[in-house]
Structure 1
Amino acid sequence: MNATETLPSPATDRLTIDDVRAAARRIDGAVVKTPMLHSQTLSQIAGADIWLKFENQQFTAAYKERGALNALLLMDEARRARGVIAASAGNHSQGLSYHGTRLGVPVTIVMPATTPSVKVMQTESVGGKVELFGETFDEAYAHAREIERARGLTFVHPFDDPNVAAGQGTVALEMLEAQPDLDCLVVPIGGGGLMSGMATVARALDPAIELVGVQAELFPSMYAHIKRADMACGGNTLAEGIAVKAPGEFTREIIAALVDEMLLVDEAALEHAVSLLLQIEKTVVEGAGSAGLAAVLSNPERFAGKTIGLVLCGGNIDTRLLANVLLRDLARSGRLARLRVELQDRPGALFAVMREFHAHNVNIIEIYHQRIFTSLPAKGLFADIECEARDAAQIDALIGNLRGKGYSVDPFDL
């Protein structure tokens, strides 16, 4: 390298708190300044002081609007007139489409052909033009970059862009303005845009604050990079909003420099957090949005006694999936159960079992008999009985009583 060449600036020089403050002024009034509220019940459960930032109350139900809008407002008129493009099947597509349309900027979104129609419809409903291509996100992303070059559009990356990250960082400005004495921020990480922006703000305002990133166990891409580990990424995670196989080049430099710790959460923890937020806070949060709470509840000793800020970063979850999550959480807690009871095929056999359920005040939801597809003798059958109770102890008492009267009972476990 000769004397006239210069090294590229470190990522931390490309994103500063001044950039985030400028973004906050730029987007002010066009995005929701979402509530930052204390949760008394979750604090009691976690053994910590829990503060929640309700980014699921944005118009498109996710924080992604902030970064998308900031990037759009920083473009010159010529680029806005030509239009923008992105590859996304999630919240970025809706945030970019909504604010692009509002500003008169044509927005093209490339999604894999396998994208559920509801996501296509949601993006189109806020003004985006959707093009379906390929079977995977990588194929859709490559096609979007081809369209970018062919049509002269501007590509707006969902996370690996300092302007986008600056917009996302405004979440932390609002959180620390509302509650300056937070000990710790626990933030979901997919590609890293949200954490990059928030960490930049938090470190500048309070160098002692703890910054903890959270990823789904099935998609530990940033975790693996930070730990320099070879870990597989893939699977059907509830947290599809942070299911990123390759973290950003820019964002991983920021996170490596500023974030204290990375944690992984399993699917059961994500499901439980989604369920708790709906039951306790009466708020709908998608899997990615529940990751911070899932991490705190999965590591009680790590977070005990701390004042913690959590970002409920999105609320876009399919209603049928949400129903499944809630029912599965009830089953894990013991309030719902499915028992397989072996019976003799004779009059009154099922009635006798029903009397035991009645005696223990356990409500029967559904009964399924099986006489044919079973390894039992021809005069035997089993009944699968789905039921609900006050708690797991009530179900256990019922099972114990049935077994004490000679019944073979097998509970189904998730």
Structure 2
Amino acid sequence: MPPSTAAQPSPSAASRSRVLWVSCAAHALHDGYTDMIYVLLPTWQADFGLSYGALAMLRGLYAGTMASLQLTAGRLAHRLGSRATLALGTLLAAAGYAAAGASGSLLGLCAALALSGAGSSTQHPLASGAVSRVYGREARGPLGIYNFSGDLGKAALPAAVSLLITLMPWRHALWVMAALGCIAAAAIALLLPAIPQKQAAAEAPASEGHRGAGTGFALLFTIGVLDTAVRMGLLTFLPFLLQAKGASTPMVGTALALVFAGGAAGKFLCGWLGARMGVVGTVLATEGGTAALTVAVMFTPLAPTLVLLPLLGLMLNGTSSVLYGTVPELSHPDKTERAFALFYTGTIGSGAVAPVLYGFLGDGIGVQGATFATALTALAIFPLAMALRSRLQAA
């Protein structure tokens, strides 16, 4: 029987805090699971004799399964509850990595990664929806923390598995990481408070009147898709731009680390900045900054470019926290998980498709021209953001 959807009392401060930190831990684990694949690809290539195309298929299977099942995860949560669905999804993601460690063929490895991706599809819509529900109008800042926690997982788990595979066979390393996921699933089941399916009237976001929600959400969705395309497209070409300036391979790695460090700071800071500057003002600032810094990085010498990269990372990633924090304001209070599922489906899908499209563009007009196209894409968000302003005022 579906959980009750009656309005419930406002959660206590302690309950809110527990929802936030359990959701952050889930985000860190699942995003870490997603990016562990990059570390494992060379090992799998050597062990299974895979081509680069097969390696790309492995990564695409995980991301594609995760993206395609976001809406299904939201629907399942309405039947089982967010806590049970998120715990089961985490257990399934861990089971997928355990199965990958036991696989003896490419087909088995593909099935295992698809299984893990299916489990990870529960995390984004349900954890972000949980934070949104318990914080109500004050959710923007906590959602920024939640967004930032994913970057911590992306840094920690790939580093951990890369260390483990120097100490033990890669299959055993995956079983260790799967055990971590099982522990996390148990913690979610035991520690995550029950999430109300409807917010109390006093805590519901201002979108409860539903005015402008449909068109406003469509604008927000489009901005999110384009913002992700800009980020993934630019990161595709940045190593080649740096090499053209004379950067060595180790220096390119350092430069990318500077971008990612700035990006993590941007996710943390811009969620709070959006609550003070407003959504549209922050989006205009970050997208305008992205465009300007992209052009600057194209034409400055190597040393100044390295100085600019952390700020470029902040601008590239900062918009996402503001956008995620706005999703509940433009969705029906009882359909928050579905709104997040739609939004994440679009942004994850954009992250998969955009590098391919920009890559074809780079083949046609060169790296410089394709990089400039990413800056123009960032500027194309301006009129969408201005149109969103009126929808936010109407919501």
**Does the pair score TM above 0.5?**
no
Greater helix share, structure number: 2
Q: Which has the higher contact order (CA 8 A, sep 6+)?
A: 2
TM range (shorter): under 0.3
Larger Rg: 1
